[in-house]
Amino acid sequence: MSTELLERLRQLDACSVSDALDALGLTGAVTGIARRSGGGVVAGRVVTVALAKGPTPAGGPKVHLGARAIEAGDANSIIVVSHPGIDAGGWGGVLTQAARLAGIQGVIVDGPLRDVDEANGLDFPIFARATTVRTARGRVHEVATNVPVTIEAVTIAPGDYVISDGSGAVFIAADEAEKVIRTAERIAAKERLMVEALKSGKPVSQVLGADYEDMLEAMQ
């Protein structure tokens, strides 16, 4: 079931899914996380990384942030890094190389990313709130892998669904995925019909009239 849902999700775009969440009264869209490398739509199941300020505590494991998430992921995974308010890289070039070799779909960082040119050279999809040249070493440490994290007001659990493209990132709780994707498919289909109507010569004020303005309410 999850594979079939992912294939359907990959045929959509982030805005249609965000609209579906609005129609259903759900949260999941986040603002300000932009594409920094790669292209197109990426969608997958979430593997989380929770970071905190400061060096690794005394006696803690000397393993770089994100390494465990790459090992925990697979070809349907998108790694989501909770890294708010920290001016240092929450992801970097060697991690990008490793994630690509592991077949990871992409990475979303709620914070800064570094080694952006390297990621672009690999055409690997990464979305981040900012960019930086500052290393995480000595400034940031990993608290946990695959635990619930929060981005803005959205709580994201391991195994949730996410879609991200040039407009941003949208998260879907695993138990809501089927109805959200079904609603997004209906929205996308209606918008395709609107584009066809415009191409046939119908005035834009008619195409984007009451039917468009009330479309999300009609999806409830």
- pLDDT tens digit sequence for 159-184: 999 999 999 999 999 999 999 999 99
Whole-prediction pTM: 0.94
Structural domain of residue 91, as residue ranges? Answer: 2-179
Q: Kindly state the percentage of the chain with pLDDT values over 70.
A: 100
Residue 186 lies in a domain: no
We report the CATH number of the domain holding residue 51 as 3.50.30.40
Annotated binding site for substrate: 92-95, 114
Residue 150 lies in a domain: yes
Annotated binding site for Mg(2+): 115
Residue 89 lies in a domain: yes
Annotated binding site: 92-95, 114-115
Mean predicted confidence (pLDDT) in 49-73: 91
CA 153 to mean position of chain CA atoms: 15
Mean predicted confidence (pLDDT) in 118-127: 98
Q: What are 163's strand-pairing partners? A: 43, 170
Token duo for residue 27:
């949260």
Query: Where does the pLDDT of residue 61 fall: very low under 50, low under 70, confident under 90, or very high at 90 and above?
Result: confident
- Residue 104 pLDDT greater than 60, yes or no: yes
- Residue 109 pLDDT greater than 60, yes or no: yes
Mean predicted confidence (pLDDT) in 138-150: 95
Residue 101 lies in a domain: yes
pLDDT of residue 1: 53
Pick the closest to residue 161 from 29, 25, 23 (CA basis). 29
Average pLDDT score over the chain: 95
Residue 189 lies in a domain: no
pLDDT of residue 48: 99
Q: Where do we find the tokens 């994100």?
A: 66
Distance CA 50, CA 47 (A): 10
Residue 8 lies in a domain: yes
Count of structural domains within the chain: 1
The helix/strand/coil state of 197 is helix
- Residue 79 pLDDT greater than 90, yes or no: yes
Residue 91 lies in a domain: yes
Query: Where does the pLDDT of residue 25 fall: very low under 50, low under 70, confident under 90, or very high at 90 and above?
Result: very high
The helix/strand/coil state of 218 is helix
